[in-house]
Amino acid sequence: MEYRTLGNTGLKVSALSFGASSLGGVFRQTDDAESIRTVHACLDLGINFIDVSPFYGLTKSETVLGKALKEIPRGRYFLATKAGRYGSEMKDFDFSANRILASIDESLGRMGVEYVDILHAHDIEFGNLVQVINETIPALRQIQKSGKARYIGVTGLPLAALREVVESADVDAILSYCHYSLNDTALLDLLPLLKSRGVGAINASPLSMGILSMRGAPAWHPAPPAVRDGCAKAAAHCQSKGASIEKLAVQYSLANPEIPTTLVSSASVENMKRNIAWASEPMDAQLLAEVLEILQPIHDVTWPSGRPENN
C-alpha cells in the first residue's frame, strides 16, 4: 500500500482508504459480523484511514464501526467523521455551533474513541455558506482545541461551494466525491488552491456512486441520462475486452499522487480485498485510453446538489 501526506496535517494516509458508509446498510442489507471482519481485513492489509458519518445508516455506520474498532489500538488508524447532516431532507441539516458541538460527543460515544483525526462539516452545499464559514468552522476549531478532533474540514459535491469555503475560511481538509473518476476529473481544477493553502484533498466514490459498474446506475442516481448512457457504454466496452470497469476506475483514481487518498466503501471482506489488490496491480493503459475516449463527450458533466446558489 502506498501512503501519501494529507495537506499540511502531516497524516500519512493510505492511497486507498475505507469509506464506512456501507456498514450502515446504505447500499444493501448488511451483516454486522461481516462488516466488522471487513474493517479488520482493511486494517490488516494496509488501509489506515477510515471515514464515516452519523448520517450513514442514521448512526448505524458509526455504531458498527465502533464495535469493529473496540479491540484495535487507536494508533493503528486515522479516523474521520462528520457533523451537520443527519438525514436526507433539508430539515435534517443543522450547521449551528450548538449542534456541531453536541454532534462530536455523540459520534465519539458511538465509536468508543476519545478523538477523531478529522471532523468535517458534512455536505455544506445544503447549508448557508455564510453560516458555515462564520459559525460552523469556528465551532469545529473549538472542538479541535478541546482535543476531540485533530483537524477539521468540509465535504460536499459542488466544487464551487468547496472553493468558496477554502478561499474564505481556514480548513485542513476537504472531501470531494464524484469529481476524480474516469468520467469526471474536475477536482484537478481545485488542487492548485488547495495546495497553496495546505489543504488536504480526500477523493471519494471512484465508481461515481455506482455508475461506473457493470450493474449500472442505481435508480436513485442523480446523473443526467447522457452520463448514465456514456458510463454504460464504457462498462460494456470493458466487458467486451474481458476486463472490469470497476478495477479500471479504482486504479485510475489511485494513480494520481496529487490526490492523497481515495475512499472505497463495501461491507464485504472479499470486495475490499479485491480493491486493495487492484491498488498494487498495473493499469491497462490501452484499455484506459479507449474508455476515456468513450467518456469524452460527458467528461466533467455533473449534477446539482443542495441549495441552487451553492452550485
Burial of 241 (0-12, 13-18, 19+ CB in 10 A): middle
Give the per-residue pLDDT at 26. Answer: 64
To the query of whether residue 56 is one of the catalytic residues in this protein, the response is yes
What is the C-alpha to C-alpha distance for residues 285 and 289, in angstroms, rounded to an integer? 6
pLDDT digits over 44-93, tens only? 999 999 999 999 999 999 999 999 999 899 999 999 999 999 999 999 99
Instruction: Domain ranges for the chain, please list them.
Output: 3-210+246-283
- Write down the pLDDT at residue 25: 75
pLDDT tens profile 175-217 = 999 999 999 999 999 999 999 999 999 999 999 999 999 988 8
The class that CATH gives domain 3-210+246-283 is alpha beta
**Residue 114 burial class via C-beta count within 10 angstroms: exposed 0-12, middle 13-18, buried 19 and up:** exposed
User: Which regions of the chain are under pLDDT 70?
Assistant: 26-27
Residue 219: the pLDDT is 84
The rounded distance, in Å, linking the Cα atoms of 292 and 59 is 38
| DSSP letter string, 196-257 | HHT-EEEEE-TTTTTTSSTT---TT----HHHHHHHHHHHHHHHHTT--HHHHHHHHHHS-T
Task: Name the active-site residue from 56, 77, 177, 180.
Answer: 56
Among candidate residues 158, 214, 184, the one with its CA nearest the CA of residue 297: 184
Amino acid (one-letter) located at 183: N
* Other residues' Cβ atoms within 10 Å of the Cβ of residue 41: 17
Cell 483525526 belongs to: 117
